[in-house]
Amino acid sequence: MKRYAWPLFLSVSLILTALFGYGFASAYNDVVNPPKRAVLTPTKEEPVAKGGTYVALGDSLTRGVGASNGNSYAAIVGQELTKDNTVERFQNLAVSGARTEDLLKQLEQKEVLRSLSQAKVISVTIGGNDLFNRGEGVANFDAKKTADTIKSAQTNLEKTFKILRDENPDAVIFYVGLYNPFRASENGEAFDAIVQNWNAESRQLGLEYDIEVIDTFNLVRDVKRDLSSDQFHPNDSTYEQIAKASLLAVNKRF
C-alpha cells in the first residue's frame, strides 16, 4: 500500500501546483487587462433627480384677481402639487393685464427662460385681454377688427407654445382656455361663438406641441353666480373648478 502512496502524493502535488499557477496567471491577466464588465460597472450612484418647479405664466387669471383670498387656479394647483411632492415649489410669473405680445416679450428674458427650462409643470393663461380689450371689443363690436385681433393673437399663442416646448421638451404644460364674461351683453352671443372657436384653435395647437388645453367655456354660464364682483374675473368657486380641471390634466401625465 505504501508503495502507491508516494506516486499518488506526487501526482496530487503536481495538479495543485498547476492549478495555483493557472490561478496566479489569471489574476495577473485580470489586473493587466481588466475584463469589460469591470470597466463598465459604475463606481458612483446616480444623482437624485430634483423635484422641479411649477411655473405659471399669463395674465390676471393666473395672478388671482377676483378671488377673495387672492388664490388663483394656479395658486391652488401649486399648493396641491407641492403637498403631494409632485413639485418642490411654485413660481408665479403672471402679469395682470398682459396680452399675447406682452407674454412673448417676457419670454425673451433670460431668467424667465431659465426658470422654464428647469420646470416640471408649466401653465399659461393668455388671450382674454386681446379678445375683450376690457370690454371695448364687445361694446363696440366690429367683426373684421375682431377677426384680425384673433388672427394676430393666435399667431402669438402658437409662438408661445413653440418657445415653451423648445425650452422644455419634458415638462407637463397646460393652457387655460377662455370663457365669455359678456354673455348677457348685446353682443354676447356673437362672442360665444368667437370664444368657442378660440378654444378649438387652441386645442389644435395643443396637439401639435403636446400641451394640454383646459376648456373653461362651460364653467361660466351665469355672470352673477360664476364671476367675481367685477363681472370679468372668476370668483373663488370658479377658480377652484379651473384648478380641479387643471389638476386632472396634470396628474394623468405623472
Both 100 and 18 in one domain: the answer is no
Establish if 98 belongs to a structural domain. Answer: yes
pLDDT tens-place string over residues 208-225? 999 999 999 999 999 999
The better pLDDT of the pair 215, 10 is held by: 215
CB neighbour class for 134 (10 Å; exposed up to 12, middle 13-18, buried from 19): exposed
Q: What percent of the chain has pLDDT over 90?
A: 68
Both 169 and 68 in one domain: the answer is yes
Residue 140 has what pLDDT?
Answer: 78
Q: What percent of the chain has pLDDT over 70?
A: 78
pLDDT tens-place string over residues 138-187? 777 788 888 899 999 999 999 999 999 999 999 999 999 999 999 888 88
Both 120 and 240 in one domain: the answer is yes
Does 252 score more than 50 pLDDT? yes
Cβ-based neighbours of 209, under 8 Å, separated by 6 or more: 161, 162, 164, 165, 173
Establish if 48 belongs to a structural domain. Answer: no
| CA-CA-CA-CA torsion sign (54, 58, 63, 65) | negative
Q: Which grid coordinates belong to 64?
A: 388671482
Residue 4 has what pLDDT?
Answer: 47
Structural domain total, the chain: 2
The better pLDDT of the pair 175, 34 is held by: 175
Establish if 230 belongs to a structural domain. Answer: yes
State how far the Cα of 20 lies from the Cα of 226, in Å rounded to an integer: 87
Both 12 and 73 in one domain: the answer is no
Both 24 and 125 in one domain: the answer is no
Residue 9 has what pLDDT?
Answer: 47
The better pLDDT of the pair 134, 199 is held by: 199
Place of cell 378654444: 199
Both 19 and 92 in one domain: the answer is no
Both 21 and 57 in one domain: the answer is no
Establish if 45 belongs to a structural domain. Answer: no
pTM above 0.75, yes or no: yes
Both 76 and 19 in one domain: the answer is no
CB neighbour class for 179 (10 Å; exposed up to 12, middle 13-18, buried from 19): buried
Both 91 and 217 in one domain: the answer is yes
181: domain CATH number is 3.40.50.1110
State how far the Cα of 70 lies from the Cα of 66, in Å rounded to an integer: 7
Both 10 and 128 in one domain: the answer is no
Both 129 and 6 in one domain: the answer is no
Average pLDDT across the chain, whole number = 84
The parent domain of residue 119 ranges over 53-251
Both 95 and 202 in one domain: the answer is yes
Does 36 score more than 50 pLDDT? no
Residue 165 has what pLDDT?
Answer: 98
State how far the Cα of 142 lies from the Cα of 147, in Å rounded to an integer: 9
Establish if 46 belongs to a structural domain. Answer: no
Residue 134 has what pLDDT?
Answer: 66
